[in-house]
Amino acid sequence: FVFKNIGGTSAGAIAAAAAAAAEFRRQEQADLAGFEKLEQLPSLLIQQPGTSKRTRLFDLFQPSENTRRIFDVLTSGMGGQGIANAIGSAMRQYAPWALAGALPGGLLGILSHLYGSGVVSTLWMAVSLALALAGAVVSAGAAFLTDVIHEVPKHGFGLCSGMSTVKYSGADDAPAAALAVWLTGYLNETAGLPPDGDPLTFGQLWQADGGNHGQDDRSINLEMMTTNLTHRRPFRLPFRDDEDLRENAQFYFREEEFKQYFPGHVVRWMVNHPRPPGDDARSPALLQRLKAAGYLPMPAPEDLPVVVATRMSLSFPFLLCAVPLHAIDWSRVGNNPEARNQVLPERCWFSDGGMCSNFPLHFFDAALPRRPTFSIDLSEKPADTPEADLHPDMPKSNGANLSERWNRFDTESPRAPAEPPVERADLRKLLGFIWAMIGTMQNWTDTTQGRLPGYRDRIVSVPLKPDEGGLNLDMPQPLITALSQRGEEAAKLLEEHFDVPPTEPTMTWDNHRWIRLRAVLAALEKTLGQMIAALDHPESGDLCYEDWVTQIEEGQMAAPSYPMKKPQLDAARRTLAQLREIQALWSTANAAEGSPRPRPVLRPRPQV
């Protein structure tokens, strides 16, 4: 296999970027050293660098000085360590507040000891101890929440920026490599570039082995998803800047802000490679004023460093700081020329791409596939799932994996089919209900799309228990090794399904192509039927579409907007007539009969 299109979001953005860097090295230098480095990544993540007692994976996430206490409290409860550990950590981190909260109970205990006697004294001592403990917990908790409310918004709504804040007490006392620093060097090394040299860019990937910048003929097409919380919508990275979408020209960055998120040489690259002025369609005076105020144009898509896009997609809410860009809200100034020349950009916060699309299977899809697009999905399993049931899975027949995925947020999973589910405690039910609502809002599109024919047969599902993956930063070394082994199993399943000649007898590449053809023909039949109904039965007073086109073509009337040229009008009229013939043919043959289910539909959707 040669990697042509690679996509990912959130943590998957790191895997996608690393795979693209390795493929770049294979095409540019004709060696597999990049993939060998990629294969060694799990071993690298389980190392304990310097004098650290944690794995390198944990040390990639380094809080700022003012958020360190919050970070320590939250991470102390990770990995199944429980809420008791988090409470103990909060009392240590906020010891003065805990002592102040324990003081009333402590005073009561002293008084009962001095002035009480016998059973009454013992009873009051027990009460005072309970009050002291409760006061300490409540006071430390209040101090923790106060810290969260005041410090997190000041630091980009997160605890870690991605830059180094920790030093080891080793011989050279070098800063520990945090996420953005490590990732920049790792991607360059994997791509066969100097680790401290210019960062790997999207343009280099597109032009590897003689490719071009055009979206259809890029050598390596890497794309990711990020979420613009200010605009309340997702964006694809790098930002689109083509004949269909002009998104890149609206965004600016500030050098002093980006230095808090990325290594200096990455920021210098961005400063030295602004997008061409013509991309902005703004007045030169405004652009000059924005630059003087510190608002720098984002690079053109081909000049954007891969590490910047990866970090913008990988912004685990609350753990990692959101990334600030800036854009102008033109709706505030309207058509006032003076105001348009004086307006300044406002901050847009970009956070984790997984908020809107945690599994962007649609990234590289066309109606009919030219090459296999396969996907790796991380599925949730209960904590008591036996190890034997934690193997990756792919459909073994066309009718497999059609069942709905259950999220039992209010009960425990039955151990046997005949067993009734066991009700959970009320608090767990309530929290489960809240998380179920959030998860459904986030993933419903991915979940329903993953069941479609031509989709589910190319998804390998890798099961994870609650203490595996996700935000479990402090996973022990054996667990990280076990997860990487599951990844290898998943790769073998994909090879069996899509190898040529096939090693898997049923779910082959040819079978996948045939399913996609049948599915799209069935969807086209339905869509054409709806179009013909609109052509034949316009609402009262509306002109028939075909007559409308004919009258515009003959000059009897003008198009209300977006006028068409003569050749376009002629092609439109003839196309509508031929669509009638196609629909009549398909209605007779019933193209949808026997097609795979659930059947997809064709409908206009915005390009993201």
Tens of pLDDT along 18-67? Answer: 999 999 999 999 999 999 999 998 888 888 766 667 788 888 999 999 99
Same domain, 150 and 237: no
Q: What phi, psi does 177 have (nearest 5°)?
A: -75, 115
- Helix 11-29 vs helix 306-313: angle between axes, to the nearest 10 degrees? 160
Strand (E) or helix (H) holding 494: helix 477-498
Contacts by 245-250, CB closer than 8 A, 24 or more apart: 245/607, 246/279, 248/275, 248/279, 248/298, 248/300, 248/301, 249/275, 249/279, 249/280, 249/281, 250/327, 250/328
Tokens representing residue 262 in the block: 């990325």
User: Does a structural domain hold residue 375?
Assistant: no
| pLDDT tier at 162, thresholds 50, 70, 90 | very high
Same domain, 192 and 261: yes
User: Among residues 128, 160, 192, which one ends one of the domains?
Assistant: 160
pLDDT at 171 over 70: no
Same domain, 140 and 237: no
| DSSP per-residue letters across 349-372 | EEE-GGGT-SS-TTTT--SS-SS-
pLDDT at residue 517, rounded to an integer = 92
| pLDDT tier at 496, thresholds 50, 70, 90 | confident
pLDDT: is 100 or 278 the higher one?
Answer: 100
User: Does a structural domain hold residue 382?
Assistant: no
| pLDDT tier at 322, thresholds 50, 70, 90 | very high
Same domain, 319 and 201: yes
Helices within 5-117 (DSSP H only):
11-29, 33-39, 41-45, 56-59, 68-76, 82-93, 95-115
pTM above 0.85, yes or no: yes
Same domain, 104 and 31: no
Same domain, 272 and 297: yes
Return the bridge partners of 296, or none.
253
Least confident among 143-147, 209-213, 301-305, 449-453: 209-213
User: Does a structural domain hold residue 603?
Assistant: no
pLDDT at 504 over 80: no
User: Among residues 126, 160, 194, which one ends one of the domains?
Assistant: 160
pLDDT at residue 357, rounded to an integer = 76
Check the CA dihedral 119-121-122-126 and report its sign.
positive
Same domain, 185 and 332: yes
- Give the number of domains in the chain: 4
User: Does a structural domain hold residue 377?
Assistant: no
User: Does a structural domain hold residue 55?
Assistant: no
Taking the C-alpha atoms of residue 438 and residue 289, their distance in angstroms, rounded to an integer, is 42
pLDDT at residue 331, rounded to an integer = 87
Same domain, 95 and 142: yes
User: Does a structural domain hold residue 368?
Assistant: no
Report whether 238 contacts 325 (CB < 8 A): no
User: What range defines the domain where residue 234 resides?
Assistant: 5-49+174-355
User: Does a structural domain hold residue 189?
Assistant: yes
User: Does a structural domain hold residue 561?
Assistant: yes
Same domain, 212 and 279: yes
Same domain, 141 and 211: no
Q: Average the pLDDT over 82-89 and give the result.
A: 84
Same domain, 140 and 257: no
Same domain, 109 and 16: no
Question: Using the 8-state DSSP alphabet, how is residue 299 labeled?
Answer: P
